[in-house]
Structure 1
Amino acid sequence: MIVAITELRIRSIWMFPLFMARSAAAVSQAQKEKGLLSFSAKVRWNVAYTLTSWTDENSMLVYKKNGAHKRAMKDTKKVSHQYRSVYYEAETVPSWKEALQRLEHLHYKFT
């Protein structure tokens, strides 16, 4: 299985409505993807996290590069000033604590 973890820091309160609209559409898309095993998200006012698991890397990449998720990624520079993500093979879905620890070791990408 593939586990994907993302963190996105929302640029300002004015971008929050756009972020929520794009996120809702991307979540709806994810829930319809045949390779999705699990989906979880946490949003605190200016930081959003996702934790997903997929049957295989191709299923994850098909989701990432198409539809609502692709449109959301095009708006990343508008919505966010920093983000980071990682994906890897795993036997089990990590806890949120473990997932956030994995992100801590990554550098932010700046938009």
Structure 2
Amino acid sequence: MIISLGKFELEKTSKLFRFLRMSKRIEEQAKASKGVLDVKLSGGSIKKFYVITVWEDIDSMKQFAHSGAHMEAIKQAKELSSQIKLLYYEGTLVPEFNEVKKILESDENVRTY
């Protein structure tokens, strides 16, 4: 299975409600997507948010990522966020959110925007 981890840090708290609305649409899209096994969201603070998605295969994940509400969010990401960290990998053990924070700070394959 494919495990995808993300951290989104808002540029300003004034963008929180816009971000939350967008996140809800993306969550709904993910949960309805072919190949999704799990979707988890967590707030680290008022400006930091984490996501874990688990997929049957890479093709399902990529189809989701490049369509619908998620694709729209990609276009607006730089405007909302001061930092975005992303990592996906093949695995069998889904980390807990406290582990996700450590992984996104230390794994050499993390992409930072």
Give the TM-score taking structure 2 as reference length: 0.90
SS of the residue 1:75 aligns to: helix
Q: RMSD of the alignment, in Å?
A: 1.4
Give the TM-score taking structure 1 as reference length: 0.92
1:83 is aligned with what amino acid? I
Partner of 1:16: 16
Report the Cα distance in structure 1 between the residues aligned to 2:55 and 2:102, rounded to whole angstroms: 20
Query: Deviation at 1:19?
Result: 0.5
Alignment of 1:62-81 (within 5 A): 62-81=63-82
Query: Deviation at 1:4?
Result: 0.3
Partner of 2:105: 104
1:52 is aligned with what amino acid? T
Report the Cα distance in structure 1 between the residues aligned to 2:111 and 2:36, rounded to whole angstroms: 26
Structure 2, unmatched stretches of 5+, are none
Alignment of 1:39-58 (within 5 A): 39-43=39-43, 44-58=45-59
Q: How many residues align?
A: 110
Partner of 1:38: 38
Structure 1, unmatched stretches of 5+, are none
